[in-house]
Structure 1
Amino acid sequence: MRRRSPLSLDRIIERMAAFSAPRHRDLVRAMVSELQSIADPAERKRFAVGAIAAIVRLALSRYSGTIVHPGRFLGIPEPEDNANLGGPSMPKLSTQQLLSRHVTPFAVAFALLTALQLANFAARQLPQLSARGVSAGTLLEALLLAMPFTMALTIPMAVFLAVSWVFTRLGVEGVLAAAQRERHGVRRLIGPVLGAAAVIAALTFVSNTQILPRTNARLAAVLADTPVERTDRSMTLGELREAARNALTDAGPDAAALAVAYEVEIQKKFALAAACLVLALAGATIALRFPRGGIGLVIGASGVVFTGYYISLVAGEALADQQLVAPFVAMWMANAILLAIILLLSWRSGGPGGRSMEILAIGG
C-alpha cells in the first residue's frame, strides 16, 4: 500500500478538519471522505483545492459573520438561505407551539414564587394582626392585598424561569444547536418569546401603576387599623408625577428628598415592567450559552440572577434616596447590568459575528 506523503492534499485537508469549528467539522470530514473516493488525479486535485478554499472561507466566516456556502468551490448547488451547514435542520416549531411550551413553566414558577413571598409576608404580619384579635376575613384580605406588590417581582422572575427552562429543554433536544447553524434560526426562536414577554411587561406596568398603589393604600390601612397618610408607594403614576412637580417647587427642607423619592418610585414602576423583557432575554441567552445545563443550570442561574437583580435594585434605591445617583440611573442599574452580562455571554458564545449574537439583533 502506497504511503501518503505528509504534504499530500488529503492529509492537508485532514489536518485542517481537526482545527475546524465544531459546527463545520462533520462537513470537512465529509470532504475528506469524498476526496479519498476520487480516483482521477486531475479531478482529485481540483476537488482538494476547492475543499481547502472552502475550509478557509468557513474559518473566516466565523469572524466576519459572512455566510459561506462551500458548495460553490466543489461544483455543488448552493443551499437555500435558511439551510444550515454541517448538521440536521432545525425542527419546525410554530409560534403557538413554542409559546405553549412556556405556559406551564410560567404558571408553576409564578404560583410557587408568589406563594413563597406571601408566606414570608404572613410570617411577618399575621401574628401582629392575630394579636389584635382581627377576624379571619381581615387576615384573608391582608393576604389578598399583599399579592400585587409581590407580583411586581414574581412575574419577571417567573418569566426568567419559564424561558430558561424551555430553552434548556430545547438545547437537550438539539433544537438550539440546529437553530445556531441556521440563518436567523435563533431569531425565529427568541422573537416570539420576546413578543410574549413584552405583553407580560405591559400588563405588569398597568398593575404596578394602577392596581398596586390602591392595594398598597388599603393594605397600609388594614395593618395600621386606621386611615393612614398616602405615601409614594400608594400613589398612581399620575399622582406621583404631580407630587414630584409640587415637591420641586416647594422651598421646604425636605422638598428635594421628597422629589427624589417620588421619582425613584416612578422609575421603579417602569424598570420592573421592563425586567420581564430583560429577564426573558437573559434566560434564552444562558440556555444558548449552556444548552445542556438541565435543571441544575435553571436553579443555579435563577438563584444568581434573582439575588443579583434584587441587590442591585435595593442598592440603587438606597443610593438614590441619599441623592448620590440620579433616580433613573439607580432604578435602571439592575437592568443595565443584566444586559451587559447578556452581551458578554452572547459574544463569548458565538464570537464576534457568531450565530448566538443574533439574539441581540432580533429586528435585523
Structure 2
Amino acid sequence: MSASTSQSATHRVWRTAYRALLVLLPRELRERHGSAMLDLFARELARKEAQGLFATSAAALAGLGDLLGRGLRERIADERRGFGQAERTVLRNSVLSFALAFFVLTDIMLALSMGRQSRSMSAEQWLSVLWYSVPYIAAMTIPMALFVAVLAALNKKGRHATPPEREEDSGKTPRMMPLALLGVVVTILAYGLNTQVLPKANTELQWLQSGKRDGFRGDRSLTPRELQDRWRELETQLASGRTSRAESNARELINNYRVEYHKKYAISAACLFLTLFAVSLTRRLRRIPIAWQVPLTVAVFSGYYVLFIVGESLGDSGMLSPSLAMWSANLTLLLLTLLLLTPGLSARAHRPVAW
C-alpha cells in the first residue's frame, strides 16, 4: 500500500468519526452548518498532511474535541430551551412508575427468594436473611424497574392531556435528555448500592447461612478495591512463584475476581443503557400498547440476562476478557439504541406503527 493511499484511508477514518460526532449538534444547527464544518475539518487535515502523521492526528483530535465540546454545549442549551410540559409530564410519570415498579418487583423477588430458604430457621434468622437479601434483590430490580417505568411513561395514554404551556409543545415528542439524566441519577444510586452496600450485605448473608464468622469472604462479598487487591496479590505471587495454588486455579480465581469487579459497574450502568433503549424503542415505534409492553419487557430482560450470564461464564473461564465479558450486554443495548435512533433505517422510522 502506497503512502498516499494510507494517508487517504487515515483521513477517511477521521472524517467518519467527525461525521458521527455531528449528531451531537441540534438538528437545525447540524443541517445548517454540518457540511461546512466537515469540509473545514477535511481541509485542516489536508493542510497538516505535509507535516506528518503526528501533526495530522493532533489536528484531527483537536477538531473532534472541539466538536464534542461544542456539541454538548449546544445540545444542553437546546434541551433547556425545549424542556416543556411534555418533558415534565413524562419525567414525573417515570419517577412515579419507577417507584411503583421497584416496590412490586422487589417484593415479588424477595418472596420467591425467601420461599427457598430453610424452614428450620428461627424467626430472628429469617428476618435477618430477609433484611440482608434486600440489597442483592434491589441490584437486579432497579434497572428492571427503570426500563418498565420509562417505557410505560412514554406510552401512557393521555400523556399530553394537560394543556401545554406553549403552543409549540403541543403534540411534540418528549426529548431524550431529561430521561437520560434520570438514568444517570439512578445509575449513580445503583453504583453506591452495588459497590458498597451489597458486599457488606452479602458478607452477612454468607455468615448467616454458614453459621460461622470465620472471616473468609467470597468474591461477591468484596468491594471493588478489595477485589483489585486480591487479584493483584495473586498475580504478584504467580510472577514470583510464591503461590501454593496450582497456576490454573490461581488464574481462574483471578478471572473470578476481575469478572466480579466489572459486574458491579456494568450492572449499575445498565440503568442508563436500558433507559436509552426504552426511549429509542418508543422513538422508533411511536406508540407501544400496554398489551405489547409486557412481552416486550420480558423479551428484553431475558435477552439481557442471557448475555450477562453467558458473558460471566466466558469471563470466569478465561475465554473472554472479563471487562468485555461483563460489558457485552450493555454494549449490545447501546448498539441497538444507536440503530433505532439512526434515521432512514426503516421506512416506518417516522410513522406510527399500526398494531
TM category, shorter: 0.5 to 0.7
Q: Larger relative CO (CA 8 A, sep 6+): 1 or 2?
A: 1
Structure 2 vs 1, CA of residues 293 and 98 (structure 1 numbering), >3 Å: closer, same or farther? closer
Could you say what secondary structure the match of 1:324 adopts?
Answer: coil
Aligned residue for 2:269? 274
1:111 aligns with 2:103: yes
Choose the corresponding residue for 2:219, options 232, 236, 254.
232
Deviations 1:13-35 (A, max 9, x none): xxxxxxxxxxxxxxxxxxxxxxx
1:123 aligns with 2:118: no
Matched-pair contact (CA < 8 Å) for 2:101–2:148: yes
Deviations 1:217-246 (A, max 9, x none): 101111122225201100111111111111
Aligned residue for 2:316? 321
Matched-pair contact (CA < 8 Å) for 1:149–1:212: yes
Q: What is the Cα deviation at residue 99 of structure 1?
A: 2.0
Q: What is the number of residues matched between the two proteins? A: 257
Choose the corresponding residue for 1:221, options 188, 193, 207.
207
TM-score by length of structure 1 reads 0.65
Structure 2 vs 1, CA of residues 338 and 273 (structure 1 numbering), >3 Å: closer, same or farther? same
CA distance in 2, matches of 1:214, 1:292: 43
Could you say what secondary structure the match of 2:156 adopts?
Answer: helix
Matched-pair contact (CA < 8 Å) for 1:172–1:292: no
Matched-pair contact (CA < 8 Å) for 2:86–2:160: no
CA distance in 2, matches of 1:170, 1:345: 23
Residue identity opposite 1:122 in structure 2:
M
Q: Which ranges of structure 2 fall in alignment gaps of 5 or more residues?
A: 1-26, 33-81, 163-167, 239-244, 351-355
Residue identity opposite 1:331 in structure 2:
M
Could you say what secondary structure the match of 2:217 adopts?
Answer: coil
Q: What is the Cα deviation at residue 322 of structure 1?
A: 0.9
Structure 2 vs 1, CA of residues 263 and 334 (structure 1 numbering), >3 Å: closer, same or farther? same
Aligned residue for 1:298? 293
Aligned residue for 2:58? none
CA distance in 2, matches of 1:293, 1:173: 16
Residue identity opposite 1:190 in structure 2:
M
Aligned residue for 1:190? 176
1:336 aligns with 2:331: yes
Matched-pair contact (CA < 8 Å) for 1:122–1:143: yes
Matched-pair contact (CA < 8 Å) for 1:172–1:291: no
> Matches of residues 144-223 of structure 1 in structure 2 within 5 Å?
144-169=131-156, 173=160, 189-223=175-209
Matched-pair contact (CA < 8 Å) for 1:163–1:283: yes
Kindly report the root-mean-square deviation, in angstroms, between the aligned alpha carbons of the 2 structures.
2.9
Residue identity opposite 1:120 in structure 2:
L
1:243 aligns with 2:238: no
Aligned residue for 1:100? 92
CA distance in 1, matches of 2:187, 2:100: 18
Deviations 1:314-336 (A, max 9, x none): 00000111110000010001001
Q: What is the Cα deviation at residue 341 of structure 1?
A: 1.6
Matched-pair contact (CA < 8 Å) for 2:89–2:159: no
CA distance in 2, matches of 1:93, 1:352: 30
Could you say what secondary structure the match of 1:304 adopts?
Answer: helix
CA distance in 2, matches of 1:170, 1:324: 47
Matched-pair contact (CA < 8 Å) for 1:171–1:287: no
Choose the corresponding residue for 2:278, options 269, 276, 283.
283
CA distance in 2, matches of 1:248, 1:296: 52
1:264 aligns with 2:259: yes
Aligned residue for 1:310? 305
Larger Rg: 1
Residue identity opposite 2:297 in structure 1:
S
Matched-pair contact (CA < 8 Å) for 1:171–1:291: no
Structure 2 vs 1, CA of residues 288 and 156 (structure 1 numbering), >3 Å: closer, same or farther? same
Structure 2 vs 1, CA of residues 149 and 91 (structure 1 numbering), >3 Å: closer, same or farther? closer
TM-score by length of structure 2 reads 0.66
Structure 2 vs 1, CA of residues 91 and 193 (structure 1 numbering), >3 Å: closer, same or farther? closer
Structure 2 vs 1, CA of residues 306 and 353 (structure 1 numbering), >3 Å: closer, same or farther? closer
Q: What is the Cα deviation at residue 95 of structure 1?
A: 5.3
Could you say what secondary structure the match of 1:250 adopts?
Answer: helix
Deviations 1:30-84 (A, max 9, x none): xxxxxxxxxxxxxxxxxxxxxxxxxxxxxxxx9xx847xxxxxxxxxxxxxxxxx
Matched-pair contact (CA < 8 Å) for 2:263–2:326: yes
Matched-pair contact (CA < 8 Å) for 2:90–2:154: no
Residue identity opposite 2:234 in structure 1:
A
Q: What is the aligned-residue identity percentage? A: 33
Residue identity opposite 2:135 in structure 1:
P
Could you say what secondary structure the match of 2:287 adopts?
Answer: coil
